[in-house]
Amino acid sequence: MSTIILGIESSCDDTSAAVIKDGYILSNYIANQDVHKAYGGVVPELASRAHQQNIIPVVDQALKTAGVRKEEVSAVAFTRGPGLLGSLLVGTSFAKSFALAMDIPLVEVNHLQAHILVHFIKQFEKENKQPEFPFLCLLVSGGHTQIVVVKDYLDMQIIGQTIDDAAGEAFDKCAKVIGLPYPGGPVIDKNAKLGNKEAFTFNKPKIKDLDYSFSGLKTSFLYFIRDEMKKDADFVKNNMNDLCASIQYTIIDILMEKLVLASKQTGIKQIAVAGGVSANSGLRNTFIQEAKKNGWETFIPEFKFTTDNAAMIGITGYYKYQNKEFAAQDIAPVARFVY
């Protein structure tokens, strides 16, 4: 008999539902929240309200597109955390009610594990190459930056992580400094394609082992812009593409240096990337170049699976369902998740 998982994601500002059947994606529907654009960042209170409005239509659409009736769903998987508590509560409450009403198991999912497991989502139209265990994954999102040893679908070990800001945060905060809209990552990426990455240099942090730090870079970028603007009020306007290219290059350089070190230390040469920042074209290109240099076999997710989506929650739910790892009705979401 087939296993059909309804995945629900509501950790930040995207409301998403997906249907996964025996590991194959049938649908993945995402409602983005434009309401935050005017504020230059996600406003938690507005995010929860928008989730509340979006959740039913999004689930409806995901089931319809998949051609699946709610009576056919084997289990409902939801993001338990990490994320914004008010946002998580909407998805969690919906999933609990759905499980209760349909009398099916409830599966809690760690959002970060889910980002990594996108590499196992199967698609009917195309067979994608899947990594073998153990592999390394550079997980780069708006909230997290980690190097993870993936020993099995649900057995992961973090061997390096940021001690302050995440890489996505660095993109978004630097973008804000030069007046770009939220989220800044994709806009920096677009402008960077037209700029010179060596136009400006920024100091890289000196952090031990496999850990990262991005808060110093953001501050030095801020001070640099402030000083240049004192000399030339049009500095940002006249150097926009070069600034984007240079800051993007520095962030990628910081990320890659530790990833290369992690591969050397562990001897693992199957390397994956995941998370919103893995949509970055500069990062994707550098990753391929590093792979050639270091003899890596690489795994890069399709764009639609890089940023937050429920297909990743569905696939993680699918593996947990197979292990019969079910959650109780009294489960609560968590803003921080430690595995």
In the complex, the residues that contact Zn ion under the rule CB under 5 A are 141, 308
**For the window 257-296, what string marks contact with ligand KG4 as x by the rule CB under 6 A?**
------------------xxx-xx----------------
The 179-198 site mask, x for binding ligand KG4 (CB under 6 A), equals ----xxxx--x---------
97 versus 285: smaller Cβ distance to ligand KG4: 285
- The interface with ligand KG4 within residues 295-314 (CB under 6 A) comprises 307-308
242 binds, among Zn ion, ligand KG4, none (CB under 5 to 8 A by kind): none
Q: How far is the CB of 42 from ligand KG4 (least distance, A)?
A: 10
Pick one of ligand KG4, Zn ion, none as the site partner of residue 108 (Cβ within 5 to 8 A by kind).
none
82's contact among ligand KG4, Zn ion, none, with CB below 5 to 8 A by partner kind, is: none
Shortest distance in whole angstroms from residue 232 CB to ligand KG4: 27
3-state SS string for the chain? CCCEEEEEECCCCEEEEEEEECCEEEEEEEEECHHHHHHCCCCHHHHHHHHHHHHHHHHHHHHHHHCCCHHHCCEEEEEEECCCHHHHHHHHHHHHHHHHHHCCCEEEEEHHHHHHHHHHCECCCCCCCCCCCCEEEEEECCCCEEEEEEEECCEEEEEEEECCCCHHHHHHHHHHHCCCCCCHHHHHHHHHCCCCCCCCCCCCCCCCCCCECCHHHHHHHHHHHHHHHHHCCCHHHHHHHHHHHHHHHHHHHHHHHHHHHHHHHHCCCEEEEECHHHHCHHHHHHHHHHHHHHCCEEECCCHHHCCCCCHHHHHHHHHHHHCCCCECCCCCCCCCCCC
CB of 172 to ligand KG4, least distance (A): 5
Residues that bind ligand KG4 (CB under 6 A): 12, 141-143, 168, 171-172, 183-186, 189, 275-277, 279-280, 307-308
